[in-house]
Amino acid sequence: MNLAHGVGERHGLPLPLDLVLQAAAIALLVSFLGLGLLWKRPRFTETVDDEGRDRWPVRLIVLIGLLLVPAHHWPHLVFVALWVGVAVLSMLLGPVWRVLNPLRLAARFSFNRAYPERLGHWPAAVTLLAFAWVEHVEPHALPWFLLGYVIVNVAGGVVYGPTWFARADGFEVYSTLLGRLSPMHGNPFRRLMSTPVRPGLVAVIAVQLGATAFDAIGGGGTAGLLLAVVIVAGSYLLCTQLLGGPLAHSLIPIVAGYVVAHYYSLLVVEGQRMFGVHHPDETLVAPGTVAAVQIVAVLTGHVLAVIAAHDRTIALLPKQRHLTGQVPLLLLMVGYTAGGLALLFAG
């Protein structure tokens, strides 16, 4: 079995890179100028997050199903179904891992102690970084990662209850962030604006973007992975400074765009193998189709990010800085776009 991304491989782009980069830069600049001229006041108000009902019967069924999965199917289950499939479903339907997460059953026996606010999303960021290391550097460590993941999250659920999973479970935090883009739960921009600014939020997003960039570069080991995450986080905080936390929600559409662009062909091909198809139909991963999906996904994510950042920025900055205050972040997004597309071509 090929273990790129844990399982399988991706397919690349067939179009001229210079033309794609020029079009992408123009699209972002036009979006920025249009917003600056026409969008003078904040339009999206925050909404209240709803945890919903306790779905313990669903989680119990998922748990029983997982216990019946043969050991040799676990790499596809984790790297394809959980990591990519749940992410895409979350964008469409909302935070599905919150509903399906079988480890949340531990919260039914919880002491319900107060979750330390200073921890924020830092445990989730560490979990996602560890998973990125397993996926991109050492896939054979997957069983040990899963064992640690289960032990830590069951213990956290018993001590802190549902709050642990909402803030500290890497997969659930990831699914919830992407779920804010779902049209099934109201206006996605209002959901984005409602993203709680907690310690570790920027780290969670930086891990996602950094790990994707690291994978597209094609390796570099543990040090390369850490360096990619540090570069993403450092460049973002440098360009936003005191607004780093309040503007972090604007990077969620970029993460979503890269997830679709980076994993589309993997999900199509390896998703078929999950269901026992030994010779997957690759019609949907023809070069032209892959190119269209990747470019549209990346550009859509960045345009949505520019809109989300603009609406929040004009609410936070004085009027005379509405445009100039956004220029560093815009340039960073142009850099992310160019870098992301270049890496997709390189892949």
Alpha helix segments (H runs only) across 43-121: 56-67, 74-76, 86-93, 96-100
pLDDT at 2: 38
Total-model pTM: 0.89
For residue 285, the model assigns a pLDDT of 86
Q: List, for residues 161-202, the tens digit of each pLDDT value.
A: 999 999 999 999 999 999 999 998 888 999 999 999 999 999
Residue range 6-46, pLDDT digits in tens: 554 544 445 566 666 777 778 777 887 787 777 778 888 77
What is the average per-residue pLDDT within 66-85? 92
Q: What is the predicted pLDDT for the residue at 17?
A: 65
Residue 54 lies in a domain: no
Mean pLDDT of the chain: 87
Q: What is the pLDDT, as a whole number, of residue 213?
A: 85
Residue 29 lies in a domain: yes
- What band does 1 get if pLDDT is binned at 50, 70 and 90? very low
Which tens digit of pLDDT belongs to each residue from 210-268? 998 888 776 678 999 999 999 999 999 998 887 888 999 999 999 999 999 889 988 99
Residue 281 pLDDT grade (very low, low, confident, very high; cuts 50, 70, 90): confident
Answer whether residue 58 is part of any domain.
no
Report yes or no on 227 lying in a domain. yes
In a domain, 53, yes or no: no
| pLDDT-based confidence at residue 79 (cuts at 50, 70, 90) | very high
pLDDT beyond 70 at 308: yes
- Mean of the pLDDT values across residues 63-76? 92
| pLDDT tens-digit series, residues 314-343 | 888 887 777 777 888 888 888 888 887 777
In a domain, 59, yes or no: no
User: Is there a contact between 102 and 60 (Cβ–Cβ < 8 Å)?
Assistant: yes
Mark 117-145 as b/e (b = at least 16 C-beta within 10 Å). Answer: eebbbbbbbbbbbbbbbbbbbebeebeeb
pLDDT over threshold 80, residue 136: yes
Give the model's pLDDT for residue 29: 79
Structurally, the chain folds into a number of domains equal to 1
Q: Backbone phi, then psi, for 275, in 5-degree steps?
A: -100, 20
φ, ψ for residue 345, nearest 5 deg? -65, -40
Per-residue confidence (pLDDT) for residue 43, from 0 to 100: 82
- Residue 60 belongs to some domain of the structure: no
pLDDT of residue 19: 66
What contacts 22, CB < 8 A, 6 or more positions away? Answer: none
The verdict on residue 286 lying in a domain is yes
Domain, as residue range, for 266: 4-47+65-346
The letter for the amino acid at 317 is L
**At residue 160, does pLDDT exceed 80?**
yes
